[in-house]
Structure 1
Amino acid sequence: MGKKDPVPSRRYLDMWALPGMHPSNVDILQQMKTADTNHFTTHMDTVGTVAEQDLESGSWATTHMLGLRTDVWKVDGAELEDALEVMRDQRRQTLKKQIKKTGRLSAKQKADLDAQLEDDDVMQMEPGEIEKRRLVLKLFKTSTDRVRWCGTIEQVTMTEVHNSIGSKRNLLTMVVMLPRSEHVTYIQQNHRTFRIPSIFTFGFFDGQQMHHVAIKRKWVSIGADFEVECDGESIGEIDGRLFSFGADSYLDIDPGPLSENTGFIDLMTLFTASVGYHKAMRKSVDRRVKATLSGQSHCHVVCNEELRLRHNGRAAA
């Protein structure tokens, strides 16, 4: 028998505007927290479902769940106060070592340290000045007997800040990690002169070749609609629903090399799920950029998890 022709892929994302009040959230949350995966943590809320359409019958079946890391997205006052205390302690130790590398300080040295601390920007900060918010969304495949992690999309605030400063426009950067893949995929928003609608680009390696993908928001659309192109040719679209409580969308990928690639479809699903958060993400980037340009770069807190994304695997031990 000859090889079957590729088939299209169609998914519908039902993103909840108020996850905690969604009628099915309690049962789903319990299912996810007892799942056989350590990717769903106690600091995560389910924020939506993903349904796939059967091409022959036209029926839809819910196949995936989406989880949001609330501890990094909805940072509360207590967490900001704790972060500020850590920053102040680190700053105190830094200034102390500048006066004397080791050992106790003399009375005069201690007085010098106290004077520096009194005028130091970090010591004068308030918890509300710290910008720590970062988007982390995870996709899980669900069935009657198990829950399996399918990928994560994370905001990369360090790249966002320097790209936004260089282009004088707030630009988003995200990274996607997929299971059983040695490669991560960076999704970068690009700035083009006289082009207002967003354009995101990334390279997707399918194990054999690199595919260059562009996600272009449409000039005229009712919802958040995007055209998906691969190597300059249209391969699908994201059709955002206008009349919905959350950022609901259809994701359609035309028949081709990528329509049956589960990793690519999951990656596109994660990006589509992130669209509803883009406005809040840009506001966060704007605050980080303004703090950096005003000499208050310490207000932009970079967590260890984000720093690990820049780990140099070739560095000597």
Structure 2
Amino acid sequence: MASKEPQGCRRYVDMWALPGIHPSNVEFLQKLKTADTNHFTTHMDCVGTVSEMDQESGDWSQTHLIGLRTDVWKPDGEEMESALGAIQDKRRSELKRSIKRHGRLSAKQKQQLDEQLAADEVMKMQSGEIETRRLVLKLFKTTTERTRWLGTIEEITTAEVHNSIGSNRTLLTLAVMLPRNQMVTYIQQNHRTFRIPAVFTFCFHDGARMWNLLLKRYWFSIGADFEIEADGEAIGEIDGRLFSFGCDSYVEIDPHPLAEHGPLVDLLTLFAASVGYHKAMRRSVGRRVEAALSGESHRNVIGGDELRLRNNGRAAA
């Protein structure tokens, strides 16, 4: 019997320009109250939907929701003050240990500590001077019966800073986590001499082999368009819509074995959803780089979630 020919895949990613007032945010919250996942947090807004085309009928159906963690992308004043407080508490402990490693301070030592605290740059900082912004988007599969988490794409600011310093150009780094997959996929923006449009690369294991994928933005396009290549072969594109209120796009994969691999399609969907945030991300990375090069790396706030992605799983207990 002849093997079945691979089919293509087509999705439409609809990102909203004003997600906070979109009616589907109410629907999103209601769905996730009973969701089969712990990936929903109280600091999450629905920022878009995904529709998928049936390859046989050509009909479209809305199949996914995209959530944004607002506490790390748009932290409010209270959250910024909390982040600053944690930085200053750590600095206070460091200064105290520099005076006396253990135990209580004497009256003279307390006065010395107070003088150092009064002159310390970290203790003089205001919450608006620190950089905490980081993108975290999550993809959920929705049906009338249940809601399931299908993946998360996160910005890795630590890698962005050192890559940007090394290349003298602002470069983005994203990590993608997928369910039932022990490997984290890192999507890295690369710098090519004399090439301005963004190029992103990553490797992806489909369970049988490792693929090397490239997302190459076109030199000239209407909207944010990327060609998708797998091991040097063009297999599809991300077709950004110019005339839309948000950063909408079609994710189109030609008939290819990877088009039928759901986790990879979800990964590409998450990347397409992130494109509208890239400009703001680059501005944030630029501020982090500036702080690092000026010796003020304390202005960069690195969250615990990001640090856990850098944990060494082979380290001895």
CA distance in 2, matches of 1:277, 1:37: 25
Q: Please identify, of 34-43 and 213-222, the stretch whose mean Cα deviation from structure 2 is larger.
A: 34-43
Residues 258-297 of structure 1 aligned to structure 2 (within 5 Å): 258-297=258-297
Q: Which moved more, 1:31-40 or 1:56-65?
A: 31-40
Once the two structures are superposed, what CA deviation does each residue of 1:79-98 show, in whole Å capped at 9, x if it has no partner? 11111111111111111111
Shift of 1:113: 1.5
Q: How far is the alpha carbon of 1:27 from its aligned partner? A: 2.1
Q: Can you give the 5+ residue segments of structure 1 that lack an aligned partner in the other structure?
A: none
Match of 1:90 in 2: 90
Normalising by structure 1, we get a TM-score of: 0.98
Deviation at 1:301, TM superposition (A): 0.4
Q: Counterparts of 1:302 and 1:86 in 2: how far apart (Å)?
A: 11
Secondary structure at the aligned position of 2:295 is classed as coil
Deviations 1:183-211 (A, max 9, x none): 01000000111100000000001122110
The match for 1:164 is 164
Amino acid of the structure 2 residue aligned with 1:73: W
The residue number in structure 1 matching 2:238 is 238
Partner residue in 2 for 1:175 = 175
Deviation of 1:34 after TM superposition, in Å, equals 2.8
Q: Aligned partners of 1:80, 1:23: CA distance in 2, in Å?
A: 28
Would you say the 8 A contact 2:24–2:46 is kept in 1? Answer: no
Q: Give the unaligned 5+ runs of structure 2.
A: none
Which deviates further from its counterpart, 52-61 or 179-188?
52-61
Alignment length (residue pairs) = 317
**Using a 3 Å threshold, how does the CA distance of structure 1 residues 120 and 203 change in structure 2: closer, same or farther?**
same
- Provide closer, same or farther for how the CA distance between residues 23 and 106 of structure 1 changes in structure 2, counting only shifts above 3 A: closer
Displaced runs of 4 or more, over 2 A: none
Amino acid in the other structure paired with 1:299: R
Aligned to 2:18: 18
Quote the Cα distance in structure 2 between the aligned partners of 1:307 and 1:98: 26
Tell whether the 8 Å contact from 1:202 to 1:212 is kept in structure 2 after alignment.
Answer: yes
* 2:125 matches 1:125: yes
The residue that corresponds to 1:134 in the other structure is: 134
What's the Cα RMSD here? Answer: 1.0
Take 1:227 and 1:119, find their aligned partners in 2: how far apart are those partners?
Answer: 53
State the partner residue of 1:185. Answer: 185
Q: 1:109, CA displacement in angstroms?
A: 1.8
Residue matched to 1:203: 203
Percent identity over paired residues? 68
Range 99-108 or range 250-259, more displaced: 99-108
- Residue 309 of structure 1, CA deviation: 0.2
Contact (CA 8 Å) 2:35, 2:147: kept in 1 or not?
yes
Q: Name the counterpart of 1:54.
A: 54
Cα distance in 2 for residues equivalent to 1:250 and 1:36: 28
Q: Structure 2: which amino acid aligns with 1:127? A: S
* Correspondence list, 1:104-119, <5 A: 104-119=104-119
Q: What is the CA–CA distance in structure 1 between the aligned matches of 2:81 and 2:188, rounded to whole Å?
A: 32
